[in-house]
Structure 1
């Protein structure tokens, strides 16, 4: 079977798997790049390549070229993940009898510790919006939900009015893979949302609107946060995920157990949450060295 036909079948398969649009595009582009490389290796035109022409040596050569280009291990792992899923699909469908990628190991990823804000920095940030204006009241909701409930920025942008349950102070969130979870709302977040919605004069279902009255996009939220960070005098670029990182770190610092934080964040695996324990351990070490007389260097 020609590679472009197989890729079209695989694209259709992924769409039935509740994969995010970002993943669909990334996998498609990674596979196009791979087959362009395979065509050069085989001395063929890309449109003439068939999937049964691919062997382990072509895959290894492709990964070698990506390494020579200085591709980060995280990007390399994603390309390998796309290839694994693609060839596994072809074997399962009976299009291929042998998986050319079966014996290739995934590169180990070094995990970077996430950046988070101190409580003092968050206090400055949260008191920055002018809540007497409609847009300022909206920006307050953004901060209170990203930090107070640990939402991903995409989850925040997708929220509707009816997702807030004022009676129970709970919020319904649609996470990765369209999975729903229920998270608590702080008193401050609930009050901020109530004030903002009372100031609006529209019937839109979206919780957050831009100045034109349309649903606020992820990109716009990022831009708003950058402006608020600058206004608050923060020295670092404020990525939305930093507020989620701060939420998790401060919970663990305050004594929350790891399983509860995992559930609040909507992590499928506990290992995704465990990275925050490194941050709290570092903080404990710092406090210990500052406070214990035998820990201080002479």
Structure 2
């Protein structure tokens, strides 16, 4: 469990809790039939194959945990086949959409964030954790100290990204994080002033609805999900 990213762990707990609430027997009496019935229940509710697969994965992790506590002898999820998902073609932005996005990014005081995502492919969590000590503008590179693979990596920076970071440093170089917390954004421009990491859902709260209004390819993305749309910037990179 300790190897999961905080957001992934939180999601697994949430999905496993829903299953435990639905379950009509003691956890120690759980069988593969219970798990399969629950997944069928989700399918009947109209949940997508990807959502059902996420639930199965969360329940599997939950059952592994129950096994370490001696509540289950074996993991019943292992006897429930996983759904095969069709390979999805990543969404990426056209040059015209990128231009529109940059206009919105300036209005919403997110120019550096969006520039970095488009030109480096950093994940949402990696950007949140980025500190000024990780930025080396002299050698035009940054270091991701904690990545999804658990290994640090060095990312080259182009001239456009360096310029955006220079402007960002003029404003927030006295703080630890490159993108600090606070109440910044469209309605409180320039007030990212708290010396702590930015919240997980800052992207959702600030601009996702605004961006969806002018970029058609992002309109089908649910605004209530943290990070949705941000991966499309990575794919564009």
User: Are residues 109 and 201 of structure 1, via their aligned partners in 2, closer, same or farther at CA, if it must alter by over 3 Å?
Assistant: closer
Q: Deviations over 1:16-70 (max 9, x none)?
A: x23122222222232232233322xx4xxxxxx241x112222222222122111
Q: Pick from 9, 12, 22: which aligns with 2:7?
A: 22
Q: Does 1:244 align with 2:226?
A: no
More helix by share: 1
Looking at structure 2, the residues matched to 114 and 226 of structure 1 have their Cα atoms a distance apart, in angstroms, of 18
Shift of 1:120: 3.4
Q: Pick from 137, 156, 164: which aligns with 1:192?
A: 164
Matches within 5 A, 1:136-285: 139-173=110-144, 174-176=146-148, 179-198=151-170, 200=171, 203-209=174-180, 210=184, 211-214=191-194, 215-226=197-208, 229=211, 234-237=215-218, 239-247=229-237
Looking at structure 1, the residues matched to 211 and 16 of structure 2 have their Cα atoms a distance apart, in angstroms, of 39
Matched position secondary structure for 2:110: helix
User: Are residues 120 and 100 of structure 1, via their aligned partners in 2, closer, same or farther at CA, if it must alter by over 3 Å?
Assistant: closer
Q: Pick from 58, 62, 65: which aligns with 1:82?
A: 58
Structure 2 portions without partners, runs of 5+: 185-190, 220-228
Q: Deviations over 1:221-272 (max 9, x none)?
A: 34554487479x544448222211111xxxxxxxxxxxxxxxxxxxxxxxxx
Looking at structure 1, the residues matched to 101 and 8 of structure 2 have their Cα atoms a distance apart, in angstroms, of 32
Higher mean C-alpha displacement, 63-72 vs 81-90: 81-90
User: Are residues 102 and 127 of structure 1, via their aligned partners in 2, closer, same or farther at CA, if it must alter by over 3 Å?
Assistant: closer
Q: Deviations over 1:79-101 (max 9, x none)?
A: 21122223334446654334323
RMSD: 3.0
Looking at structure 1, the residues matched to 104 and 116 of structure 2 have their Cα atoms a distance apart, in angstroms, of 15
Structure 1 portions without partners, runs of 5+: 1-13, 43-48, 248-298
Looking at structure 1, the residues matched to 126 and 235 of structure 2 have their Cα atoms a distance apart, in angstroms, of 15
Computing the radius of gyration from Cα coordinates, the structure with the larger value is 1
Matched position secondary structure for 1:101: helix
Q: Does 1:33 align with 2:18?
A: yes
How many residue pairs end up in the alignment? 216
Q: Does structure 2 retain, via aligned residues, the 8 Å contact 1:125–1:228?
A: no
